[in-house]
């Protein structure tokens, strides 16, 4: 016989685990003996197969028996758990309630975080899709300028030059277009002009029709399901006609499935990019303009840095005319993974407002803190109660329970709490989800099938919670020495209260930091909201203008509107003061000829500055009294003067490159800085250009300042005037303050969510404290009675009881305040305009928590300190 | 005294047959040989354990051998009670079968 062979270790373990408890490892010898026989006769492989088969065969024979013993054990555990629940109803309810709130919060926060992190992952090739971002130094002369868009010409070269680029999609996008269906006009957005590779790179599916159709005939259009539902409810729109801006008819050839909400851009209409040429006469192969978005699908093994460098060499190869241009322009491209765009990209010309990764960090931290606070409650109350349960444990040990069995029993009890809380939380979360989604305006609803995908995550969460909450109490309780416990009993203070107090301190440190953050974030938001934007937002109505013919009759419209006495003044401009995001090239004498500078700008009429109450620090407004304004005049803001190093009092000129030629104009005034972009950003250089006398002045907005009085009547009047002059276009207005507020909407939503969860965390921590307070006073009932008999006053006794808690909370404050200061200072660092962190905020956070804690425990201490000592002492 | 079940009877007989060499592997083989039944070890242990618990058999440990990976054999042997039960089972068998000729089966087989 050869040297004996051994079956694999893992199989042996498996078998040992399956076999009944009363079989020991010697039984495995039987298996091994037969294993060896078979191995000798028919080889190792068949022996192994036999061995594995034995494992399977053993299961049905054995589990039945094993189950019965397990069930009786579980029955016993359950019984004990239920008894202990009944005996300690208050503590148990606090535990369950805290766990439910904690887990529910965790589920809701994680769903939101998951939604945000999942952006653009639905594309089958999302791992290998990159967006090309452009950095062009010439655009700002001094600073480089990074854009989400790129040169149309570049995208055409990509596939020929680089074999690792499998496909290169590009598209132009139009927001605010007028579509007419059956004679009715509407404004729509997300109108995309795409190339053939679009569907190669992105995974968007058709509901009906073919993707190719729009490339075969450029006057074909694909619409989204939601657009189809909106305009053709219950009908099949394929074959019908949509009119674009009153100029071009598209016939519908297909319907695109709605784009998932977690895509960083949405699609409502799709046409071929040829239409850029056909409709707008735009050069779609140019190096001279930016404007399309480009996404490439890369081969797996591409080295990104290298490719970025090589793509950046393309302008040198095809575009720069000479070396000086090369040196000055220095255009470079970078690649952004598509999945990181939503949370980490904040370039110029992003398609939509992106999210913020910092918010994700904040939310993840909160979700974990809330869970930790709930677990600490459990640990504290369970160990506290254990002093009462000491006798039970003592008896168990005397009767012969091993430490392992006790640990198992306590972990089992914990898992009952955790599992019940988890199931209830899942139900509650499911019920809250619709409201939660609507607050966040994100569709984070989750279907049953999807939640199955999360099952492993949930199981891990449950196990982690059981271990976090249960392991310390299990080890602690099972360590009791039965002899001592049964003889003397276990008092509340027997050791371990250091741990308990430090856990409470940790809880409150977390709570204070959270409260502090909410206060600071709240104050900061309020500060931004109330900060003077530098222009008037009160009682101003704005109307967008799309009708090209109306643009020619702007002065007629202004006159008509001004006739009514309730309308104070009317102004036409290309942008509105709350969002001057257009930039255009500027050039000034002394600057190299082929260079230009890009600056935010707005072309305005003479009434603009007065209507919005903008202040001048030097010079004058645009005016009819100065005929030279018609030849070109500029007003710069202070930041622009500073950026150019110009003296506000000096005389300067600008060359304004418009309609293919430079128009030179004097700078007639300097404007006090006002916030024409988000409050989060530093005020940028800005110039206003006088639109009067400019043939190509195409105002996009009319601002109307109205006097006091019912706004509806005035709106009716304005609407009538507009429809009178431009009957084909729907009248849509907005109130400028609404437009301003909407920019801060996401922050307000997130702020609201943050507040809710902070309150929850404070409530959970407070409940834990309440539990401990009830417990301590119960333990000290007799002591209090005796003290009272000996002459202690109710006040002294309250102090005795509340003293310990107060000290805990003071210590928490000492830890939390510096930590909170550090964190909040870091957060505020992201803002250009921010509040100063003052002591008041910190003191109020500290006082708030202290008050909550003292009020929570005061009922209990009050009850104890005012109780008649006779009752408490005779209660046994 | 309780009546043995059929499988208890077979197992006890197997142990009895094997004499001093009755342990997991041999018992399983003997059962296969006697009754043409193949049992998984898992089931065998459960049943043997029941026999031990009911007091029909007892087990003792043998010496470890190399082909068992250094594990010891667990031998089974009948107790007096077990032998008695087998005797009762045999008596019961012959008494309930008494007077039934083989012919009876031949007729029903037709």
Count Cβ atoms within 10 A of the Cβ of residue A248 and give its class: 0-12 exposed, 13-18 middle, 19 or more buried. middle
Top-confidence residue, B103 or A859? A859
Q: Answer whether residue A107 is part of any domain.
A: no
Q: In this predicted structure, what is the pLDDT of residue A325?
A: 67
Rounded to an integer, the average pLDDT of A302-322 is 87
Residues A511 and A369 in one domain: yes
Q: Per-residue pLDDT tens for B52-88?
A: 888 888 888 887 777 777 778 888 888 888 888 888 8
Is the model more confident about B46 or about B30? B30
How much is the pLDDT for A204?
A: 93
Residue with tokens 């507009």: A722
CA angle A395, A397, A402 (to 5 degrees): 155
Q: Three-state SS for A269?
A: strand
**A144: pLDDT confidence band, cut at 50, 70 and 90?**
low
A57, A72, A87: which is the final residue of a domain?
A72
CA A816 to mean position of chain CA atoms: 25
Specify whether A166 is located in the same domain as A313.
Answer: yes
Mean pLDDT across the stretch A151-168?
91
Same domain flag for A610 and A646: yes
Q: Would you give the DSSP letter of residue B69?
A: T
pLDDT digits (tens, 9 = 90+) for A598-623: 788 899 999 999 999 999 998 899 98
Residues 25-64 in B contacting A (C-alpha not used; CB under 8 Å): 25, 28, 40-43, 45-46, 49, 61, 64
Q: Please indicate, yes or no, whether residues A436 and A508 belong to a single structural domain of this protein.
A: yes
The dihedral through the CA atoms of A842, A843, A845, A850 has a sign that is positive
- What are the two backbone dihedrals, phi and then psi, of residue A689, each rounded to the nearest 5 degrees? -120, 140
Confirm whether A119 is domain-assigned: no
A286 and A217 housed in the same domain:
yes
Q: Would A146 be classed as within a structural domain?
A: yes
DSSP one-letter code for A298: E
So what's the pLDDT on residue A74?
82
For position A42, what pLDDT does the model report? Answer: 86
Cβ atoms of residues A132 and A148 within 8 Å? no
Query: Do residues A831 and A866 both lie within one domain?
Result: yes
Question: Chain B contact for A739, CB < 8 A?
Answer: no
Please give the model's pTM, rounded to 2 decimal places: 0.76
Asked if A648 and A679 sit in the same domain, the reply is yes
A344 forms bridges with which residues in the sheet? none
* Residues of the domain holding A615: 547-728
Residue with tokens 């992105």: A202
Contact B71 A6 (CB under 8 A): no
The closest CB to that of A31, out of B41, B46, B49, belongs to B41
Mean pLDDT of A56-62: 71
Nearest to A115 by CA among A441, A427, A353: A441
Q: Which two tokens stand for residue A427?
A: 């139900």
CA A599 to chain centre: 31
Q: What domains does chain B contain, in order, with CATH numbers?
A: 6-98 (1.10.10.10)
What is the pLDDT, as a whole number, of residue A495? 47
Contacts of B45 in chain A (CB under 8 A): 19-20, 23, 27, 62
Q: A103 lies in a domain?
A: no
Are the CB atoms for A813 and A505 separated by under 8 Å?
Answer: no
Are the CB atoms for A615 and A672 separated by under 8 Å?
yes
Q: Position of tokens 């939509």?
A: A352
Tens of pLDDT, residues A344-370: 988 888 888 888 888 888 889 889 989
Cα B49 to Cα B59: distance, rounded to the nearest angstrom: 9
**Same structural domain, A559 and A681:** yes
User: Cβ of B25 and A58 within 8 Å?
Assistant: no
Taken in order A391, A393, A394, A400, the sign of the CA dihedral is positive
Q: How far is the C-alpha of A285 from the C-alpha of A279, rounded, in Å? A: 15
Q: Which of B24, B28, B66 sits opposite A4 (nearest CB)?
A: B66
Looking at the structure, tell me whether residues A472 and A591 fall in a common domain: no
CA dihedral A841, A843, A849, A854 (to 10 degrees): -150
Q: Is A52 on the interface with B (CB under 8 A)?
A: no
The packing angle between helices A554-562 and A711-725, to 10°, is 150
Number of folded domains that form chain A:
4
B42–A61: do the CB atoms touch at under 8 Å?
yes
- Judged against a pLDDT cut of 60, whether residue B110 lies above it is answered with no
pLDDT value of residue A4: 67
Contact status, residue A222 vs residue A252, Cβ threshold 8 Å: yes
User: How many residue pairs from chains A and B have C-beta atoms closer than 8 A?
Assistant: 74
Query: What per-residue confidence (pLDDT) applies to A10?
Result: 77
Instruction: Tell me whether residues B40 and A25 touch, CB distance under 8 A.
Output: no
CB pair distance less than 8 Å for A31 and B23: no
pLDDT at A479 over 90: no
* Nearest CA-CA distance, residue B21 and chain A, Å: 13
Task: Indicate whether A92 belongs to any domain.
Answer: no
Q: Do B69 and A62 touch (CB under 8 A)?
A: no
Q: What's the CA gap between B93 and B8, in Å, rounded?
A: 14
More confident residue, A124 or B42: A124
pLDDT digits (tens, 9 = 90+) for A257-300: 999 988 999 999 999 999 998 888 888 888 877 889 999 999 98
Residue from the list A4, A19, A22 with its beta carbon closest to the beta carbon of B67: A4
pLDDT band at A850 (very low <50, low <70, confident <90, very high): confident
Q: Which residue of A has its CA nearest to B22?
A: A30
Q: State the sign of the Cα–Cα–Cα–Cα dihedral A623, A624, A627, A630.
A: positive
Three-state SS at A635 = strand
A468 and A373 part of one domain: yes
Q: What is the pLDDT of residues A435-459, one digit of tens each?
A: 888 888 888 877 767 777 788 888 8
What is residue A65's predicted lDDT score, i.e. its pLDDT? 65
Give the angle A655-A658-A660 at the CA atoms, nearest 5°.
110
Distance CA B63, CA B23 (A): 12
Is residue A737 included in any domain, yes or no? Answer: no
Q: Which of A25-39, A485-499, A532-546 has the lowest mean pLDDT?
A: A485-499
The shortest CB-CB distance from A4 to any of B41, B69, B73 is to B69
Region of A411 on the Ramachandran plot (φ > 0 left; ψ -120 to 50 alpha; else beta): alpha
Q: How confident is the model at residue A731 (pLDDT cuts 50, 70, 90)?
A: confident
Whether residue A681 lies inside any domain: the answer is yes
Does residue A541 lie in a domain region? no
Please indicate, yes or no, whether residues A839 and A760 belong to a single structural domain of this protein: yes
What's phi and psi for A701, nearest 5 deg? -135, 145
Distance between alpha carbon A449 and the CA centroid of its chain, in Å? 24
* Mean pLDDT value across residues A777-787: 80
Report whether pLDDT(B106) > 80: no
In terms of domains, do A492 and A553 share one?
no
């Amino acid at each position: 016989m050869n040297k004996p062979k051994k079956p694999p270790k893992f199989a042996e373990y498996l078998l040992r685990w399956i076999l009944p408890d009363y079989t020991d490892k010697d039984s495995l010898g039987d298996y091994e003996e037969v294993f060896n026989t078979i191995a000798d006769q028919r080889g190792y492989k068949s022996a192994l197969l036999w061995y594995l088969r034995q494992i399977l065969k053993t299961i049905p024979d054995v589990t039945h028996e094993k189950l019965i013993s397990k069930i009786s054990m579980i029955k016993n555990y359950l019984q004990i758990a239920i008894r202990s629940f009944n005996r300690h109803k208050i503590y148990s309810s606090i535990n369950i309630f805290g766990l439910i709130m904690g887990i529910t919060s965790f589920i809701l926060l994680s769903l939101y975080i998951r939604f945000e992190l999942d952006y653009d992952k639905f594309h089958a090739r999302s791992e290998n899709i990159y967006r090309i971002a452009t950095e062009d130094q010439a655009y700002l002369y001094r600073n480089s300028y990074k854009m989400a868009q790129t040169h149309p010409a570049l995208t055409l070269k990509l596939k020929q030059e680089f074999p690792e680029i499998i496909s290169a999609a590009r598209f132009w996008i139009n927001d605010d277009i007028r579509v007419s269906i059956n004679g009715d006009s509407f404004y729509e957005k997300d109108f995309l002009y795409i190339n053939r590779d679009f569907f190669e790179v992105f995974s968007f599916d058709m509901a009906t029709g073919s993707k190719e159709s729009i490339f075969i005939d450029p006057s074909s259009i694909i619409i989204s399901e939601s657009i189809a539902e909106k305009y053709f409810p219950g009908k099949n729109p394929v074959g019908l006609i949509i009119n674009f801006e009153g100029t071009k008819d598209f016939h519908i050839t297909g319907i695109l499935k709605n784009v998932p909400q977690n895509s960083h851009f949405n699609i409502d209409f799709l046409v071929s990019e040829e239409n850029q040429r056909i409709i707008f006469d735009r050069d779609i192969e140019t190096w001279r303009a930016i404007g399309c978005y480009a996404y490439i699908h890369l081969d797996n093994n591409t080295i990104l840095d290298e490719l970025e460098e090589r793509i950046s060499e393309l302008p040198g190869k095809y575009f720069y005319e000479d070396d000086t241009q090369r040196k000055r322009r220095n255009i470079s491209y970078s690649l952004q993974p598509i999945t990181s765009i939503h949370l980490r990209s904040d370039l110029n010309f992003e398609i939509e407002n992106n999210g913020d990764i910092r918010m994700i960090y904040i939310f993840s931290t909160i979700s974990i803190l809330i869970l930790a606070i709930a677990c600490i409650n459990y640990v504290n109350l369970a160990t506290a109660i254990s002093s009462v349960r000491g006798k039970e444990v003592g008896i168990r040990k005397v009767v012969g329970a091993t430490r392992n069995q006790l640990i198992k029993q306590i972990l089992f009890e914990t898992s009952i709490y955790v599992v019940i809380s988890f199931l209830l939380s899942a139900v509650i979360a499911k019920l809250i989800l619709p409201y939660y989604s609507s607050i966040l305006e994100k569709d984070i609803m989750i279907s049953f099938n999807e939640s199955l995908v999360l099952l492993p995550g949930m199981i891990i969460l449950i196990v982690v919670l059981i271990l976090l909450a249960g392991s310390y109490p299990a080890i602690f309780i099972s360590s009791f020495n039965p002899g001592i416990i049964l003889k003397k009993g276990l008092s509340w203070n027997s050791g371990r209260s250091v741990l308990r107090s430090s856990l409470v301190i940790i809880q409150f440190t977390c709570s204070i930091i959270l409260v502090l953050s909410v206060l600071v974030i709240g104050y900061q938001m309020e500060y931004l909201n109330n900060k003077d934007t530098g222009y008037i937002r009160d009682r101003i109505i704005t109307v967008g203008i799309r009708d090209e013919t109306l643009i020619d009759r702007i002065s007629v419209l202004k006159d008509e509107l001004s006739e009514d006495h309730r309308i104070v003044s009317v102004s036409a401009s290309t942008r509105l003061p709350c969002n001057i995001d257009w930039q255009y090239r500027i050039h000034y004498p002394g600057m190299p000829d082929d260079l230009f500078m890009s600056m935010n700008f707005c072309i305005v009429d003479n009434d603009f500055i007065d209507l919005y109450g903008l202040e001048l620090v030097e010079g004058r407004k645009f005016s009819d009294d100065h005929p030279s304004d018609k030849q070109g005049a500029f007003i710069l803001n202070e930041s622009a003067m500073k950026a150019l190093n110009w003296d506000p009092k000096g005389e300067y000129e600008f060359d304004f490159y418009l309609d293919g030629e430079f128009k030179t104009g004097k700078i007639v005034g300097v404007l006090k800085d006002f916030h024409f972009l988000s409050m989060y950003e530093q005020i940028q250089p800005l110039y206003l250009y006088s639109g009067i006398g400019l043939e190509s002045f195409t105002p996009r907005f009319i601002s109307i300042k109205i006097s006091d009085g019912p706004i509806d009547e005035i709106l009716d009047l304005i609407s009538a005037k507009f429809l009178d002059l431009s009957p084909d276009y729907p009248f849509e207005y907005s109130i400028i303050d609404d437009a301003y507020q909407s920019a801060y909407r996401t922050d307000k939503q997130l702020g609201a969510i943050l507040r809710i969860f902070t309150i929850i965390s404070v409530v959970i921590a407070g409940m834990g404290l309440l539990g401990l307070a009830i417990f301590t006073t119960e333990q000290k009932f007799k002591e209090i009675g005796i003290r009272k008999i000996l002459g202690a006053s109710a006040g002294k006794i309250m102090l005795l009881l509340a003293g310990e808690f107060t000290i805990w909370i003071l210590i928490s404050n000492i830890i939390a305040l510096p930590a909170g200061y550090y964190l909040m200072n870091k957060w505020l660092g992201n803002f250009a305009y921010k509040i100063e962190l003052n002591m008041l905020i910190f003191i109020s956070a500290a006082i708030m928590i202290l008050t909550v804690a003292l009020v929570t425990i005061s009922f209990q201490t009050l009850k104890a300190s005012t109780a008649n000592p006779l009752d408490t002492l005779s209660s046994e | 005294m309780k009546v043995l079940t059929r499988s208890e009877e077979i197992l006890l007989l197997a142990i009895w047959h094997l004499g001093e060499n009755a342990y997991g592997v041999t018992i399983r083989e003997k059962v296969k040989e006697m009754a043409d039944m193949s049992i998984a070890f898992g089931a065998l242990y459960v049943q043997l354990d029941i026999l031990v618990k009911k007091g029909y058999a007892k087990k003792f440990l043998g010496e470890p051998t190399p082909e068992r990976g250094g594990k010891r054999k667990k031998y089974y042997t009948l107790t007096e009670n077990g032998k008695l039960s087998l005797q009762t089972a045999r008596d019961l068998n012959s008494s309930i079968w008494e007077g039934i000729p083989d012919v009876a089966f031949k007729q029903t087989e037709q």
